[in-house]
Chain A
Amino acid sequence: QVQLVQSGGGVVQPGGSLRLSCTASGFNFSNYGMHWLRQSPGKGLEWVTFIRDDGGSKYYSDSVKGRFTISRDNSKNSMYVQMTNLRTEDTAVYYCAKDLGGYYRYFDHWGQGTLVIVS
């Protein structure tokens, strides 16, 4: 079955950096786009960034553009997000999610979530 296992996260000071990882199993990782999303009490669910299956195209929300960088290593079935210049408003539970596939940008499987606290 599809599994997405996240690692990373924790407490960081404003202006600091953090890297989150997401390791996939149970599907052909190199055939699917992948996303990072986040959820905070104040802002609800927010899509953050997306990377296509081959890593050739990347998309970011305005709130993280220029500060977050998404990447993937298909040989390791893994995806990453490097977060820099973190702000207090980046505090949230971060989820990786698998794209439904094809033309559809829906999130059909999610990781367990990892808490990032910027304080």
Chain B
Amino acid sequence: DIQLTQSPSTLSASVRDRVTITCRASQNVSPWLAWYQQKPGQAPKLLIYQASTLESGVPSRFSGSGSGTDFTLTIASLQPDDFATYYCQQFHTYPWTFGQGTNVEIK
């Protein structure tokens, strides 16, 4: 199975900070990578797919980039609603797998 390793596991940030989360795959998964946001007690929400395509309705402060084995989720200016856990997911190779998550918390 393809392993996805996210870093950091926890990130402390303030409103209006620029935030970057990294997802590293154990092998090439490009471009079949997505990012999800999950808040406590809620289901995950798709933010970005195909590494850089913004899902409909997702604010433009979210962006994705990367290729091969290294991918990044960037939040340009962190808003109060963005404090949550973020996951990457690949479907390059079955079974489809997730990273362990990055918790973005208030500094």
B partners with A: yes
Task: Report A's interface with B, CB cutoff 8 A.
Answer: 44-47, 59, 61-62, 95, 97, 100, 104-108, 110-113
Docked complex Cα distance between A53 and B92 (Å) = 20
Closest to A96 in B: B43
Write out the residue numbers on chain A whose beta carbons fall within 8 Å of the beta carbon of B49.
Answer: 100, 104, 106
Question: At the interface, yes or no: B8 with Cβ under 8 Å from chain A?
Answer: no
Write out the residue numbers on chain B whose beta carbons fall within 8 Å of the beta carbon of A97.
Answer: 43
B95 & A47 in contact (Cβ 8 Å cutoff): yes
- Which of B43-83 touch A at CB < 8 Å? 43-46, 49-50, 55
Write out the residue numbers on chain B whose beta carbons fall within 8 Å of the beta carbon of A44.
Answer: 87, 98-101
Q: A46-B98, A100-B49, A105-B96 are contacts. A95–B87 as well, Cβ < 8 Å?
A: no
Task: Report B's interface with A, CB cutoff 8 A.
Answer: 34, 36, 43-46, 49-50, 55, 87, 89, 91, 94-101
B46 & A47 in contact (Cβ 8 Å cutoff): no
Contact of B44 among A45, A46, A59 (CB under 8 A): A45
Write out the residue numbers on chain A whose beta carbons fall within 8 Å of the beta carbon of B91.
Answer: 104-106
Q: Determine the main DSSP class of A at the interface with B.
A: strand
Docked complex Cα distance between A99 and B74 (Å) = 24
Q: A104-B49, A106-B49 are contacts. A47–B43 as well, Cβ < 8 Å?
A: no
B97 & A47 in contact (Cβ 8 Å cutoff): yes
B98 & A112 in contact (Cβ 8 Å cutoff): no
Query: In the complex, what's the smallest C-beta–C-beta distance from A107 to chain B, in angstroms?
Result: 6
10 cross-chain pairs, A with B, having the tightest CB-CB distances, nearest first: A110-B43, A105-B91, A45-B98, A47-B96, A106-B49, A106-B34, A108-B46, A61-B95, A44-B100, A95-B43
Closest to A112 in B: B43
Write out the residue numbers on chain A whose beta carbons fall within 8 Å of the beta carbon of B34.
Answer: 106
Contact of B43 among A46, A100, A104, A113 (CB under 8 A): A113
Closest to B44 in A: A110
> 11 A-B pairs, CB-CB below 8 angstroms?
A44-B100, A45-B87, A45-B89, A47-B98, A59-B94, A95-B43, A105-B96, A107-B36, A107-B46, A108-B46, A112-B43
